[in-house]
Amino acid sequence: MKNKLLIKTFIDILLILIGLALAIFGILTIASAKAKKDRCNFLIEPIKEASERYISKKFPFWYNIAVAKVETNCKWRMSVDGHGSIGYFQLTPKFLDKYLRPLFPDYDKPYSKQHIEAAVYYIGMLWRSNPEWLKKLWVTYQRYNGGNWVIIECKRAKSNKWEDCYKYCRRRKVCVWKKHGKCIQWKSACEINYTYSQKVYRYGQKWSSLLCPKQRIERELIFPFW
């Protein structure tokens, strides 16, 4: 009888230990998954600081974090687009050097803080150069991604609304997947550019929670996205 009691106690203790081990494993797995998803965390502070310095202390910086997320998933990469673009924000020296190099001479160097500052400075340039009737962040980010076509389309639509401008988009298709020098998949440049702003907005919501609702709403009113 005593032996049976000891065996039962041993089994109970073993089951408890197994349960604890599984619980710890589960917690570690979740933590690891979150760490992978949050690979942009190390960019939060420098992007926030640059946004408030080069654009405005009231700028909704979370959308600039989202740009790095959309462009490269916050990884330092070289020439994803085939135009020699670099870094987290995929800045393109052949187009932007004349604006960025004098102020940020090291913006194209790996892991340089100037890369972040240059990208945010350029986003600020785009915002300030938007026509007054198009002072929307969605227009700014689409210009960042695809140039000034969006302004032309909004002029055609006589509207500053995303859905109206999209209806007037007439652009060529671009190759998004090549294999052995041959294009495997084509995609509409309109779709690429107009979904870009949607992605920036969607990803940005994650980091907007870094501020209290009152501060967040205040910034959104000054810099409306849509």
Q: Quick one: how far is CA 115 from the chain centroid?
A: 15
If pLDDT is split at 50, 70 and 90, which confidence band does 80 have? low
If pLDDT is split at 50, 70 and 90, which confidence band does 15 have? low
If pLDDT is split at 50, 70 and 90, which confidence band does 213 have? very high
If pLDDT is split at 50, 70 and 90, which confidence band does 82 have? low
Q: What is the pTM assigned to this prediction?
A: 0.80
- Among 36-40, 79-83, 134-138, the minimum mean pLDDT is found in 79-83
Mean pLDDT confidence for 53-62: 98
pLDDT at 48 exceeding the cut of 50: yes
Rounded distance between C-alpha atoms, residue 67 and residue 110, angstroms: 18
- Among 79-93, 151-165, 183-197, the minimum mean pLDDT is found in 79-93
Q: What percent of the chain has pLDDT over 70?
A: 82
- Higher-scoring residue by pLDDT: 16, 26: 16
pLDDT tens digits, 61-71: 999 999 999 99
120 residue type, one letter = V
Q: What percent of the chain has pLDDT over 90?
A: 70
Structure tokens at 217: 């709403």
If pLDDT is split at 50, 70 and 90, which confidence band does 30 have? very low
- Through-space distance between the first and last CA atoms of the chain, rounded to whole angstroms: 76
pLDDT at 185 exceeding the cut of 70: yes
Q: What pLDDT, on the 0 to 100 scale, is given for residue 180?
A: 73
